[in-house]
């Protein structure tokens, strides 16, 4: 891949940064560095992005295939006749020079307004590759500064002698700047700490946004300043995000020397100060002076003096300490899995039982068991409970039936919960026979509550994870539920009642589980109403997760593959057992409210019996006192037991500068973190109040932010204005809020089943930002005219096409498009698609014989089929998490429900009573200008 150095002005150099997958441009003579390509004049050509070579001219495509005579769209994406093509940015840039102006002029709007912009959209020169092909595309790019020579990073590290530079505020007019989806993959605004804030020059000294990010990267010094901005202050934390191949591993401090502040209990980190000739250190949160532990400078591995400055906790913001015995109430527990399998008639006939048992069997080697202490139990249930005794060292297992579900007891004291290694043979034999045992079971009914109680009794002395597989509404014993789905209630103020637990059993039992260090995961499969809202309470309070497969039928291979993949990943997931989490902050800041799957044990201690990877938590922060220090520190600590039986503390440290400037608060705002926090707050409000209140609160917060910006940052002040102004770094916030308002979790509609809404809310409150953002702002690609690089393997993985704006104006009748939200992938095909396209992708003669619906795309012996399959595969793999999205083929004139479902992802369009993006922006402008007495 060619370096862009040859295109740079004299004196500039480009260096590839593997952490952010971007080039860093430096001017060694001045020490200046920046991410944007330096340009000598405004006429400089647009940067095609560092990750790929510039697109080749059309004459290079000797194998170009035209799909139909006279049609303008070519199979391999060329520019002939494509005046409206998304990729022709250079032409559009010249056609709209006024749109490149960075100065904000009140009253100025482009001729034709927003509607004119919609027809020939202008997209500013991308600061990211036009054709993204980095392995981490769609993930939050790594936090500045990147892993580059330190002398090139003077702008990023103020502590190296250059004073703290304020962030530059750029204003944009939302009426003339349509959303560009590529902006969502940009890093959050840079964190500019004051000089000497950090004791190390390590590029890993501040938390990567994928672990911990704040809604503003410059903290207001007073609560009044924060209130004036109207931006919610909060943290989004994903303490155990997956570390993919090639990424920085979390360093582990193994010498059990843990330096903590005596007063506030903060862990030593890169932002403390050493005083008294290095014998003491001053806490960066409360300024307490503490003694440095005697063994802090001793290398216990080599038994010789060590280098203090090489210690991981002084160089890394994310670090794990091996905990000494004083951090243990009891010896570290083993990993324990109790799997409850519904074997009622419905479950067996759907193929769920056969798929589940086969998946467990195939993943026995992947279940965490390095220390060979892992224990496993299988309990089947319908209206009775079926225990299985598996004596170690034999291949035999005995089934014990308990029919009295009102008074649950364990039929045998031993061999029900067995060591995975010792009882491997009998467990394998049992898993191979369970489906046959219940093949002719005609019992209809579900005793989930008693099965949970039995599993709890089995593992309560130890703790661990209960995995529930259920195919029907619980109707027997404790926790029995009734079908409360009422179509007349949907869309009314009473609908929020259907999203709350119908029985107190699920919350009280969840709290019992939390006390005993038991976590619950729910896998739900019902074709009819299952009351997901009630059942999801268990994972919510026990740090588990809910997975939902409506109308599951293993006879459809797609259903079986999705469930087997996700269930297998959950079984193989390294979980953090008996965990507690606390977030500490500098004096003057207080953790006010908490969102996510856990139980708040005391004011700020979050109990998590088993923390899964890639689960996110949001915490709102209050400014209680004026912040006098130049920067603040937010530190998350999670005490847990690993699957290998080791007690550890994971510490994540984030340092942020303080500011008394409102413009810097706006310039530092992180729109992705804000949207994540608003999603959590919206779900909570929909449960405590009404769905309508949740929507109004989110909408009102956006209006307040825009109003504050207009009155404080523009010359219009409190008067009416023809523009709708916001800072450049918040330009995507309105479309993210619109996507949230249109999400199934809180959308205004009388057509959404309560189970689907409850499941969507479970996702909104647990997905990390990297997965949540596509869930509320889906990704939209054009495949029939994608550039030749798209779908091929480049230096850094499969290249993806450029994402399009989420509007159906982009759909062409002869086109092929991919729309995905991280949970579902739609392949939209227009009714005028030529037979060659249909044959190359679907191996069918023409559009008429193509059937819409859930499918598996064939991999055919032609280049285009292989490229489309590569893009679908990359889409399924590129984000962290266990989810394996279904693929649906959607015909333009196909089944209306499927078409409407796919089109609902195009959130910039009008749908039912919900406005288009253009209408939404118009409403916001009216409210910001004071219309309707708002």
Spatial distance between the Cα atoms of 80 and 121, rounded to a whole number of angstroms: 18
Over its C-alpha atoms, the chain yields an Rg (Å, rounded) of 28
- Domain 336-573: state its class: alpha beta
Q: 926, 915, 921: which is closest to 726 by C-alpha? A: 921
- Domain 778-905: state its class: alpha beta
pLDDT at position 413 is: 85
Q: Which of 32-46, 352-366, 688-702 has the lowest mean pLDDT?
A: 32-46
Spatial distance between the Cα atoms of 81 and 530, rounded to a whole number of angstroms: 53
Asked if residues 737 and 702 have their Cβ atoms less than 8 Å apart, the reply is: yes
Strands 816-820 and 375-381: unpaired
Spatial distance between the Cα atoms of 99 and 79, rounded to a whole number of angstroms: 23
Spatial distance between the Cα atoms of 620 and 618, rounded to a whole number of angstroms: 7
Number of other CB atoms surrounding residue 105 within 10 Å: 12
Asked if residues 705 and 770 have their Cβ atoms less than 8 Å apart, the reply is: no
Give the bridge partners for 826, in sequence order. Answer: 819, 888
Spatial distance between the Cα atoms of 730 and 184, rounded to a whole number of angstroms: 10
Spatial distance between the Cα atoms of 303 and 287, rounded to a whole number of angstroms: 32
Spatial distance between the Cα atoms of 354 and 363, rounded to a whole number of angstroms: 14
User: What is the percentage of the chain residues whose pLDDT exceeds 70?
Assistant: 83
pLDDT at position 716 is: 66
Spatial distance between the Cα atoms of 418 and 427, rounded to a whole number of angstroms: 9
Domain locations along the chain: 212-329+577-658, 336-573, 778-905
- What band does 750 get if pLDDT is binned at 50, 70 and 90? confident
- What band does 485 get if pLDDT is binned at 50, 70 and 90? confident
pLDDT at position 144 is: 37
DSSP string, 608-658: EEEEPTT--EEEEEEE-S---SSEEEEEEEEEEE-TTS-EEEEEEEEEEEE
* pLDDT for 321 beyond 90: yes
Per the model's pLDDT, the better-predicted residue between 301 and 101 turns out to be: 301
Which residue intervals of 744-785 are DSSP H helices?
Answer: 754-764, 769-776
* pLDDT for 425 beyond 50: yes
pLDDT at position 41 is: 42
Asked if residues 582 and 603 have their Cβ atoms less than 8 Å apart, the reply is: no
110-116: average pLDDT: 36
Fold classified for 212-329+577-658:
Immunoglobulin-like (2.60.40)
609-619: average pLDDT: 94
DSSP string, 809-858: GG--TT-EEEEE-SSEEEEEE-TT--HHHHHHHHS-SSGGG---EE----
pLDDT at position 6 is: 52
DSSP string, 6-25: GGSPTT-EEEEETTTTEEEE
- What band does 719 get if pLDDT is binned at 50, 70 and 90? low
Q: Do domains 336-573 and 778-905 have the same CATH topology?
A: no
Spatial distance between the Cα atoms of 19 and 653, rounded to a whole number of angstroms: 18
- What band does 81 get if pLDDT is binned at 50, 70 and 90? very low
- Angstrom distances, CA of residue 508 to CA of 477, 623, 648, 931: 15, 34, 29, 48
> Can you say how many angstroms the Cα of residue 250 is from the centroid of all Cα atoms in its chain?
19
Asked if residues 409 and 367 have their Cβ atoms less than 8 Å apart, the reply is: no
DSSP state of 216: B
Mean pLDDT of the chain: 84
């Amino acid at each position: 891949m060619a370096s862009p150095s040859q295109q740079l002005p004299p004196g500039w150099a480009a260096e590839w940064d593997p952490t952010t997958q971007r080039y860093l441009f430096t001017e060694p003579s001045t020490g200046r560095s920046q991410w944007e390509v330096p340009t000598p004049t405004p006429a400089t050509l647009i940067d095609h992005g560092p990750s790929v070579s510039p697109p080749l001219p059309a004459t290079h495509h000797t194998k170009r295939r035209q799909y139909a005579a006279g049609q303008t769209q070519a199979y391999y994406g060329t520019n002939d006749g494509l005046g409206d093509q998304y990729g022709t940015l250079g032409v559009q840039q010249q056609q709209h020079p006024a749109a490149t102006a960075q100065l904000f002029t009140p009253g100025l709007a482009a001729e034709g307004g927003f509607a004119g912009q919609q027809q020939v959209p202008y997209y500013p020169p991308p600061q990211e590759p036009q054709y993204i092909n980095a392995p981490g595309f769609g993930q939050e790019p790594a936090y500045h500064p990147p892993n580059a020579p330190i002398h090139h990073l003077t702008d990023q590290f103020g502590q190296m002698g250059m004073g703290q530079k304020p962030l530059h505020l750029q204003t944009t007019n939302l009426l003339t700047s349509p959303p560009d989806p590529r902006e969502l993959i940009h890093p959050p605004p840079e964190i500019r700490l004051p000089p000497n804030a950090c004791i190390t020059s390590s590029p890993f000294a501040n938390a990567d946004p994928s672990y911990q990010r704040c809604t503003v990267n410059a903290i207001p010094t007073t609560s009044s300043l924060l209130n004036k901005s109207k931006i919610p202050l909060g943290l989004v934390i994903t303490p155990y995000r997956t570390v993919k191949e090639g990424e920085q591993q979390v360093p582990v401090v193994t010498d059990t020397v843990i330096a903590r502040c005596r007063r506030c209990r903060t862990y030593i980190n890169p932002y403390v100060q050493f005083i008294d000739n290095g014998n003491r250190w001053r806490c960066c949160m409360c300024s307490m002076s503490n003694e440095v532990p005697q063994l802090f400078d001793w290398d216990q591995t080599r038994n010789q003096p060590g280098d203090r400055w090489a210690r991981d906790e002084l160089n890394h913001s994310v670090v794990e300490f091996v905990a000494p015995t004083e951090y243990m109430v009891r010896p570290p527990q083993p990993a324990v899995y109790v799997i409850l399998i519904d074997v009622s008639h419905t479950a067996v006939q759907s193929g769920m039982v056969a798929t589940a048992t086969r998946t467990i069997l195939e993943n026995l080697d992947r279940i965490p068991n390095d220390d060979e202490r892992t224990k496993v139990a299988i309990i089947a249930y319908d209206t009775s409970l079926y225990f299985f005794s598996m004596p170690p060292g034999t291949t035999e297992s005995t089934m014990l039936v308990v029919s009295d579900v009102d008074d649950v007891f364990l039929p045998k004291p031993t061999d029900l919960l067995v060591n995975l290694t010792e009882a491997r043979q009998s467990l394998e034999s049992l898993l191979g026979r369970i489906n046959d045992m219940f093949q002719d079971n005609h019992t209809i009914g579900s005793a989930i509550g008693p099965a949970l109680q039995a599993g709890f009794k089995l593992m309560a002395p130890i703790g661990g994870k209960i995995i529930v597989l259920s195919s029907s509404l619980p109707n027997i014993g404790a926790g029995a539920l009734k079908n409360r789905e009422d179509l007349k209630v949907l869309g009314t103020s009473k609908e929020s009642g259907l999203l709350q637990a119908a029985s107190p059993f699920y919350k009280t039992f969840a709290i019992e589980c939390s006390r005993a260090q038991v976590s619950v995961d729910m896998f739900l499969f019902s074709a009819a109403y299952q009351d997901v809202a009630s059942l999801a309470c268990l994972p919510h309070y026990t740090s588990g997760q809910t997975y939902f497969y409506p109308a599951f039928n293993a006879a459809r291979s797609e259903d079986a593959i999705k469930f087997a993949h996700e269930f297998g990943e959950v079984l193989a997931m390294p979980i953090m057992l008996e965990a507690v989490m606390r977030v500490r902050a500098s004096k003057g800041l207080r953790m006010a409210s908490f969102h996510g799957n856990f139980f708040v044990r005391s004011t700020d201690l979050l109990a998590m019996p088993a923390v899964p990877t890639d689960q996110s938590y949001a915490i709102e922060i209050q400014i209680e006192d004026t912040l006098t220090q130049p920067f603040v520190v937010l530190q998350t600590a999670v005490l847990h037991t690993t699957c290998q039986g080791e007690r550890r503390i994971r510490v994540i440290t984030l340092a942020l500068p303080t500011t008394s400037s409102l413009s810097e608060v706006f310039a530092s705002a992180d729109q992705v973190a804000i949207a994540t926090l608003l999603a959590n707050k919206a779900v909570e409000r929909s449960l405590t109040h009404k769905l309508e209140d949740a929507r109004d609160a989110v909408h009102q917060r956006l209006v307040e932010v825009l109003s504050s910006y207009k009155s404080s940052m523009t010359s219009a002040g409190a008067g009416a204005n023809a523009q709708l102004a916001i800072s450049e770094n918040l330009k995507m916030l309105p479309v993210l809020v619109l996507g949230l308002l249109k999400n199934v979790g809180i959308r205004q509609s009388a057509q959404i089943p309560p189970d689907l809404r409850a499941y969507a809310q479970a996702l909104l409150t647990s997905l990390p930002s990297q997965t949540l953002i596509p869930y509320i702002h889906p990704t939209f690609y054009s495949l029939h005219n994608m550039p030749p690089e798209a779908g091929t393997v480049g230096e850094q993985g499969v290249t993806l096409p450029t994402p399009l704006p989420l509007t159906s104006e982009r759909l062409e009748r002869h086109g092929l498009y991919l729309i995905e939200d991280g949970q579902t992938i739609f392949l939209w095909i227009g009714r005028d698609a030529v037979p060659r396209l249909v044959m190359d992708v679907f191996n069918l003669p023409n559009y008429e014989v193509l059937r819409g619906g859930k499918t598996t795309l064939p991999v055919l012996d032609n280049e285009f089929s292989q490229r489309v399959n590569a893009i679908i595969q990359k889409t399924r793999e590129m984000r962290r998490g266990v989810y394996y999205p279904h693929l649906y083929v959607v015909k333009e004139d196909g089944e209306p429900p499927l078409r409407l479902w796919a089109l609902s992802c195009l959130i910039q369009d009008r749908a039912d009573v919900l406005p288009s993006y253009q209408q939404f922006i118009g409403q916001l402008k009216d409210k910001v200008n004071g219309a309707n007495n708002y």
